[in-house]
Amino acid sequence: MRTGEPLLEVGGLRVELGGRPVVADVDLRIAAGDRVGLIGESGAGKSMIAAAITGVLPEGARTSGSVRLDGRELLGAPHRQLAEVRGRRLAMVGQDALTALNPLVRVGKQLALPLRRRGLARAEIAAESAAMLRSVGMTDVERILRSRPGQLSGGQRQRILIAMALACSPGLLIADEPTTALDVTVQQEVLAVLDRLTRAGDPPPALLFISHDLPVVARSCERVAVLRGGRVVEHGPVGDVLTAPEHPYTRELLAAARLTAWPEELVP
């Protein structure tokens, strides 16, 4: 990557589904190690932006604009090239671990796959898998490795997804509502794990954090973009956007979060 060139550069991105634009004119620049939040109401197009970046748009979606990773254009690039670049540099944690994990295959086997591809021997794979689970705060490691995803709690599955996503040391981690499906107390624990691990990497990955939960974004990110009807209506440093929102829609979001003034302790 050339110096000063962003890790991810999304320019004039447009996504149409069934002839209807669901993402329009979206620009987003993320440099190595940046932590960027993307917020907006349900249906705003947040997940479609993530899908355009990761290359898993619904069938029939039409895209235009540009998605560059390490300076290479991904929109419309050949499938092989996409798989290679995305597999190496990009990882994603979604909302629903049950669909992201294979329900029939034991966790240990799913964790082992990428490790085997990296050429690790059997004993190393066992040690590394256990270490991955401990890194996301799990103690009952042997049992979890033997379990199938359906035998675990939602919080445990989400921790496993985080461990798997970070195992390949991605340059960019996209987290799309990673805790929305969890109970409030479990949400806090899983967020703390995500926060700790993404800040601790060497080098730490850049983070694109998608959420409708403003306090979460304020804690985890340095910059934030506010999305409405597929368009970015406001973006800037988290502290600026949330303490002095310029767009009426951002003010609405703040009000909806029942925060009229942004609590001091949440402003970075």
Ligand X SMILES: Nc1ncnc2c1ncn2[C@@H]1O[C@H](COP(=O)(O)OP(=O)(O)OP(=O)(O)O)[C@@H](O)[C@H]1O
Cis peptide before 203, with omega less than 30 degrees from 0? Answer: yes
Question: Please, which of residues 232-251 interact with ligand X by CB under 6 A?
Answer: none
Q: Of 38-46, 99-107, 110-118, 152-160, which part binds Mg ion (CB under 5 A)?
A: 38-46
Contact between 45 and ligand X per CB under 6 A: yes
- Rounded CA-CA distance 81/74 in Å is 8
CB of 96 to ligand X, least distance (A): 11
Binding pattern for the stretch 82-121 against Mg ion, x by CB under 5 A and - elsewhere = ----------------------------------------
Residue selected from 212, 223, 228, 235 as contacting ligand X according to rule CB under 6 A: 212
Residue selected from 36, 47, 194, 238 as contacting Mg ion according to rule CB under 5 A: 47
Q: Of 42-50, 69-77, 105-113, 120-128, which part binds ligand X (CB under 6 A)?
A: 42-50
Of 47 and 179, the one with the shorter C-beta distance to Mg ion is: 47
Contact between 22 and ligand X per CB under 6 A: yes
Burial 36-50 (b: 16+ CB within 10 A, else e): bbbbbeeebbbbbbb
- Rounded CA-CA distance 5/15 in Å is 25
Contact between 228 and ligand X per CB under 6 A: no
Residue selected from 43, 76, 248, 263 as contacting ligand X according to rule CB under 6 A: 43
Of 35 and 228, the one with the shorter C-beta distance to ligand X is: 228
Contact between 156 and Mg ion per CB under 5 A: no
* Residue least distant from Mg ion (Cβ): 47
From residue 127, give the alpha-carbon distance in Å to each of 44, 72, 82, 170: 42, 35, 31, 21
Footprint of ligand X (CB under 6 A): 17, 22, 40, 42-48, 58, 212
Footprint of Mg ion (CB under 5 A): 46-47
